[in-house]
Structure 1
Amino acid sequence: MKRFEDLTEAETLALAIANEEEDSRIYATFAMRLRHDFPATAAIFDGMASEEDGHRRSLLSLYEKKFGRELPLITRQDVRGFLKRNPVWLAEELRIEQVRRQAALMELEAGEFYTRAAERARDTEVRRLLGDLALVERKHEAVAERLEQTHLTESARSGEDATARRLLVLQVVQPALAGLIDGSVSTLAPIFAAAFATQNTHETFLVGLAASVGAGISMGLTEAMSDDGAITGRGRPWIRGLACGLATAIGGLGHALPYLIPDFWTATSVAAAVVVVELIVIAWIRWRYMETPFTGALIQIVLGGLLVLLAGIFIGSG
C-alpha cells in the first residue's frame, strides 16, 4: 500500500479517475435501488452520478493529454489515508438517512483528496483542474441541494414520507405490535392462574418469567421464519423477529415483574394496574399506526384481555 505523498502526478490523476468512477457508480446504484419507493430522491442521485461522471471525463482528457492513453491501475484501496467505506448500497433495504450520510462522507473525502492533490501538483494545468475539482466537491452539497429543489417537490417529499412510514409499519410496527399483544394477553392466563393457585409471589414470578421468555423466543422465531421479505417488502427477517420477540417478552414481563413484591395482594394489584396500562398502550399503537379508531381498538383489546384474565383467575382459583 502506497502513501499519498509517494504517488506520481500520473498516479494521482489515475487515482482521481478511479475515485470519480467509483463514486458515480455508487450514486447510480443508490438511484437504482431507491427508484421504486423513493423516485424523487433517486432522481437526485441520478444527477449526482452524472456530475461525478463529468469530472471523470475531464480528468481522463487531461490524463491523455499529459501522459498518454495507458492508465495505471490504482484505486483508493491501494493508498493509505482513505476511509474504509461501509457498502450500504449492497444492503437488502436502503434507509434514506443512511444513504444521505454516506453521500455526505463521500463528498467530504473527495474535497479533501483534491485539495491535497492540488497542493502537490507541479504541472500548472493539472494543479488548476485539481483545484477546480476541490472547489466543486466542496460545493457538492450545494449541488445536491439544487438537485433536491429540482426533483424533491413538496408533493414528492410528502409521497416519500408516506412510503417511509409504510415501510416502518410493515417492517417494525406490525411485528412488534403482534408480539406485544401476544405477550400482554396470552401470558395473563398462566401468570394469574399460577398466582391464585399458589398465592406465592416468587413461584408466580418464575412462571411469568418462563412464560414471557418462552413466548418471546417462540414469537420471534415464528416471525423471522414466516417470510424473507423479498416479495412482501416486509424487510429483513431478523429485524422483524427481533422486534416481535422483544415486544412479546416485554409484554409478558410487564405483569410478571410486580410479583417480585413479597406481599401477594399488593403484587397482584400492581400487576392488574400494569395490565390496564399495557392494554391502553396497545390500543394507542393500533390507533396511531394501524388507523384503527381508538375507542374501537380499546374495547377490542380490553375485552380480549379481560376474558383471558378471568380465565386465568378462574382456573387458578379452582
Structure 2
Amino acid sequence: MRAFSDLTEREILALAIANEEEDGRIYADYAEHLREHYPDSARLFDDMATEEEEHRRALIDLYVERFGRHIAYITRRDVRGAPAPASPRTTILKGIDAVREEVTRMETNASRFYREAADRSTDAPIRKLLGDLASAELDHLRTAGEIEAQRLPSDRRAREDEDAHRRFVLQVVQPGLVGLMDGSVSTLAPVFAAAFATHLPWNAFLIGMAASVGAGISMGFAEALADDGKLSGRGAPLMRGLVCGAMTTAGGIGHTLPFLIADFWTAIVVAAIVVVVELSTIAWIQYRYMDTPPVSAAAKVMLGGALVLAAGILIGSG
C-alpha cells in the first residue's frame, strides 16, 4: 500500500477515474435495490450515477490528452488513508437513512482527502489537480442536494421515512420483541422452579442456560419458517430468524446469569431485579415502536411475567 504523496500526477488522475467509476456503480446499486420500496430515492441515485459518469468521462478525456490511452490501474484500496465506501449491500440492510448518510460521507471524505493532499503537496501541477478534484467532490454534494430537492420534496421524503420505519418494525423490532418476550417470560418458570426445588443456584443456572439456548433455536427456526416475507413484507426469513432467536436467548440468559452467585437468596434477589428490568424493557419497546400506551404495556407485561414467575416458584416449592 502506497502513500498518497508517493503517487505521480498520472496515478492521481487514474485514481480519480477509478473513484468516479466505483462511486457511480455504487449509486446505481442503491437505485436498483431501492427502486421497489423507495422509487423517488431510486431516481435520485440514478441521477447521481449519471453525474458520476459525466465526471468520469471528463477525467478520462483529460487523462488521454496528457498521458495516452492506457489508464494505470490503481484504486483507493491501494492508497494508505484513502477513505473507501462501505459495501452497498451492507448499507442497504441498515435502511434508507443509512444510505443517505453513506452517500454524503462518500462525497465529503473524498473532497477532504483531496484537499488535505493538495495542502501537503509542493508540486504545483499536482497541487492544482488535487484542488480541482476537491472542488469537483464539493460540486457533487451541491448537485446531489439540488437533485434531492427536486426528486424528494418534503412530503415524499416523509412518506419514504414512514415506510422505512414500518419496515424496520416489521422486519427487526417485531421478531426481536417476540423473541425477547418469549425468552424473558417462558424461561422464568423452569429457572425459578429449579432454584426453589434444589436451593442450588448452579442447578438453576444450568437449567436456565439450557432453556434459553433451546428456546432461542426453536424460536429462530419458527420465525424463519413462518413465511418468506414476500407477501407480508416482513423481510428476509433468515434475518428475522436470527433476530428472534438471538433475542430469545438473550431474554432467558439475563435472569439466568445471577444464579452464578453461590448464595441462594442473593441470587434470587438479583435475578428478580433482572426480571423487572427485562419486563420493563419489553414494555418500553411496545410503547416506543408499537404505539402501546405505556401503562397498558407495563401492566400486561408485568402481569404475565408475575404469573409465570409465581408458577415456577410454586412448582419448585411443592
**How do 1:234-245 and structure 2 match up within 5 A?**
234-237=234-237, 239-245=239-245
Query: What is the aligned residue count?
Result: 311
Cα distance, 1:289 vs structure 2: 0.9
* Equivalent pair of 2:18/2:75 in contact (CA under 8 Å): no
2:98 aligns with: 97
Amino acid of the residue matched to residue 151 of structure 2?
Answer: H
User: Following the alignment from structure 2 to structure 1, what is the Cα–Cα distance between the partners of residues 199 and 14?
Assistant: 78
* Equivalent pair of 2:107/2:138 in contact (CA under 8 Å): no
Q: Would the alpha carbon gap of residues 134 and 189 (structure 1) be closer, same or farther in structure 2, given more than 3 Å must change?
A: closer
2:196 aligns with: 196
SS of residue matched to 1:139: helix
2:79 aligns with: 81
2:110 aligns with: 109
Amino acid of the residue matched to residue 286 of structure 1?
Answer: Q
1:35 aligns with: 35
1:278 aligns with: 278
- Select between 304-313 and 16-25 the one with higher mean Cα deviation: 16-25
- Select between 219-228 and 26-35 the one with higher mean Cα deviation: 219-228
User: Following the alignment from structure 1 to structure 2, what is the Cα–Cα distance between the partners of residues 60 and 273?
Assistant: 66
Identity %: 49
* Equivalent pair of 1:14/1:71 in contact (CA under 8 Å): no
Cα deviation digits, residues 225-275 of structure 1 (max 9, x gap): 555656654445554344323322232233323334444445434433433
1:256 aligns with: 256
1:174 correspondence with 2:211:
no
Cα distance, 1:201 vs structure 2: 2.6
* Equivalent pair of 2:251/2:278 in contact (CA under 8 Å): yes
User: Following the alignment from structure 2 to structure 1, what is the Cα–Cα distance between the partners of residues 131 and 280?
Assistant: 61
Cα deviation digits, residues 78-112 of structure 1 (max 9, x gap): 99428585662345736332553255335643785
* Equivalent pair of 1:255/1:275 in contact (CA under 8 Å): yes
User: Following the alignment from structure 1 to structure 2, what is the Cα–Cα distance between the partners of residues 205 and 77?
Assistant: 53
* Equivalent pair of 1:108/1:138 in contact (CA under 8 Å): no
Cα deviation digits, residues 204-233 of structure 1 (max 9, x gap): 232223222332333334434555656654
1:317 aligns with: 317
TM-score of the aligned structures, taking structure 1 as reference length: 0.74
Amino acid of the residue matched to residue 72 of structure 1?
Answer: H
Unmatched 5+ stretches in structure 1: none
SS of residue matched to 2:70: coil
- Select between 81-90 and 251-260 the one with higher mean Cα deviation: 81-90
User: Following the alignment from structure 1 to structure 2, what is the Cα–Cα distance between the partners of residues 303 and 138?
Assistant: 57
User: Following the alignment from structure 1 to structure 2, what is the Cα–Cα distance between the partners of residues 34 and 197?
Assistant: 55
User: Following the alignment from structure 1 to structure 2, what is the Cα–Cα distance between the partners of residues 180 and 40?
Assistant: 35
User: Following the alignment from structure 2 to structure 1, what is the Cα–Cα distance between the partners of residues 265 and 26?
Assistant: 63
RMSD: 4.1
User: Following the alignment from structure 2 to structure 1, what is the Cα–Cα distance between the partners of residues 292 and 170?
Assistant: 16
* Equivalent pair of 1:19/1:75 in contact (CA under 8 Å): no
Cα distance, 1:51 vs structure 2: 2.0
* Equivalent pair of 2:104/2:141 in contact (CA under 8 Å): no
User: Following the alignment from structure 1 to structure 2, what is the Cα–Cα distance between the partners of residues 179 and 54?
Assistant: 49
1:185 aligns with: 185
Unmatched 5+ stretches in structure 2: none
- Select between 170-179 and 265-274 the one with higher mean Cα deviation: 265-274
Cα distance, 1:53 vs structure 2: 2.6
Amino acid of the residue matched to residue 89 of structure 1?
Answer: P
Q: Would the alpha carbon gap of residues 63 and 281 (structure 1) be closer, same or farther in structure 2, given more than 3 Å must change?
A: closer
* Equivalent pair of 2:77/2:84 in contact (CA under 8 Å): no
User: Following the alignment from structure 1 to structure 2, what is the Cα–Cα distance between the partners of residues 6 and 133?
Assistant: 15
User: Following the alignment from structure 1 to structure 2, what is the Cα–Cα distance between the partners of residues 79 and 194?
Assistant: 56
User: Following the alignment from structure 2 to structure 1, what is the Cα–Cα distance between the partners of residues 171 and 239?
Assistant: 8
1:56 correspondence with 2:59:
no
- Select between 296-305 and 193-202 the one with higher mean Cα deviation: 296-305
* Equivalent pair of 2:179/2:245 in contact (CA under 8 Å): yes
User: Following the alignment from structure 2 to structure 1, what is the Cα–Cα distance between the partners of residues 3 and 255?
Assistant: 61
User: Following the alignment from structure 1 to structure 2, what is the Cα–Cα distance between the partners of residues 311 and 170?
Assistant: 32
Cα distance, 1:173 vs structure 2: 1.3
* Equivalent pair of 2:30/2:42 in contact (CA under 8 Å): yes
Cα distance, 1:285 vs structure 2: 1.4
Q: Would the alpha carbon gap of residues 75 and 107 (structure 1) be closer, same or farther in structure 2, given more than 3 Å must change?
A: farther
Cα distance, 1:189 vs structure 2: 1.5
Of 69, 72, 75, which residue of structure 1 is paired with 2:70? 72
User: Following the alignment from structure 1 to structure 2, what is the Cα–Cα distance between the partners of residues 159 and 87?
Assistant: 26
